[in-house]
Amino acid sequence: MEGSNETVQQPPQLAAAAPTTTTKEAKLDIQRLGDVKTLLGEGPYWDPTAGVLYFVDILGCAIWRYSPDGDSFTSWPTPVPPSAISRTADQRLVAVLADGFYEFHPVRGTFNLIAKVKFENDVEQINDAKVDRQGRFVAGTTNNKSGQPVAGLYSFDGEKVTKLDDGFTICNGPCWSPDGRRFYIADTIPNIIYAYDYNTATGAISNKSVFADTSGVSGLPDGATVDANGRVWWTFVGSDGGLICYNPDGTIHQRLSTGIKSMTSIQFGGEMFDTIYLTSLDPEKVGRPKGDPDSGALYKIEQTAVIGLPEPLAAPIVYSQSTRTR
């Protein structure tokens, strides 16, 4: 776009495709989209207002947008590593970066600080984030140095940041039950997915319990989402491409093998919310053995016979007196 700080990439004439896989319930046509490759793709967000998918490259410091109409990609550089993005109720975009929450202006490619997270140590940064049913962001952090359990959960209501919990190594996959009263989050390194009771009026969490012990699962729990039936879909990075759909009580409803060994996160999208989008990473960039040539790509699975939920709009932005542009 003329006068903007964005990069538009048109797809090649023929897009590569991952092999078709079969599960006990459906034959899945898993397709690679375009030739974009991220270093650490995460945070897929379907924006129904624009009919596009946003996702981020944490290590590549970029926000990406995929447009199914035209099958094209657009990217913007970020000043620090990004983790998530969402549209607000007043039709703006909020980008969650490593240190806080920013209004993102796609035309100018700029980021206006709304609120910074005041970490209690110098090894935390935001790793994953999503919006609850009432419009609050909940962001989980990662300990980016020592691997000790000093990461935590933070809530942002559009104006102020509140700490919810701590004691995590790497927070991944924040998501809620359809009624918003159950909150799920993975602590990736110890292989545990937790569930909390979630107060929809205040955003407080309580009664932490183990939703699923994933120590016997190939890979580590990463990004997640919830479908319209309240089932929880969890990706496992570093696995054999495993994707597990959990019932609301934590039992396994279905195991799917996608063949995407570097898969990192999942989002339902499309007009009917029956398309699954999957992000991935380049394993070499995170200290793992070399992956396949498609590592870091964006994928989709169409006509899944499963209906997802639209992500809620974030609360309107309220700026403090001290803001700045990055």
The pTM of the full predicted model, rounded to 2 decimals, is: 0.90
Query: 3-class DSSP state for residue 284?
Result: helix
Question: Which residues are within 8 A (CB) of 67 and not within 5 positions of it... i.e. 6 or more apart?
Answer: 51, 52, 73, 74
pLDDT score, position 6: 53
- Does residue 252 surpass a pLDDT of 60? yes
pLDDT score, position 155: 98
pLDDT score, position 300: 96
- Does residue 258 surpass a pLDDT of 60? yes
pLDDT score, position 321: 58
CA distances from 199 to 185, 196, 205, 206 (A): 15, 10, 6, 8
Query: 3-class DSSP state for residue 217?
Result: coil
CA distances from 290 to 79, 131, 235, 262 (A): 28, 34, 20, 10
- Give the pLDDT band (50/70/90) at residue 146: low
- Give the pLDDT band (50/70/90) at residue 148: confident
Report the range of poorest mean pLDDT among 127-141, 166-180, 250-264, 280-294: 280-294
Q: State the average pLDDT for the chain.
A: 89
Burial class (CB in 10 A: 0-12, 13-18, 19+), 311: buried
8 Å CB contact between 262 and 219: no
Single-letter amino acid, residue 217: V
pLDDT score, position 239: 83
Tokens of 287: 């200290």
By percentage, how much of the chain surpasses pLDDT 70?
Answer: 87
By percentage, how much of the chain surpasses pLDDT 90?
Answer: 75
- Does residue 21 surpass a pLDDT of 60? no
* Closest listed residue to residue 39, CA positions, set 6, 61, 71, 16: 61
- Does residue 18 surpass a pLDDT of 50? no
Provide the 10 A C-beta neighbour count for residue 5: 13
CA angle in degrees (0–180, nearest 5) for 232-237-238: 145
Question: Which residues are within 8 A (CB) of 141 and not within 5 positions of it... i.e. 6 or more apart?
Answer: 117, 119, 124, 125, 126, 127, 151, 152, 153, 154, 168, 171
- Give the pLDDT band (50/70/90) at residue 325: low
Report the range of poorest mean pLDDT among 93-97, 157-161, 284-288, 307-311: 284-288
Report the range of poorest mean pLDDT among 193-197, 198-202, 268-272, 289-293: 289-293
- Does residue 61 surpass a pLDDT of 50? yes
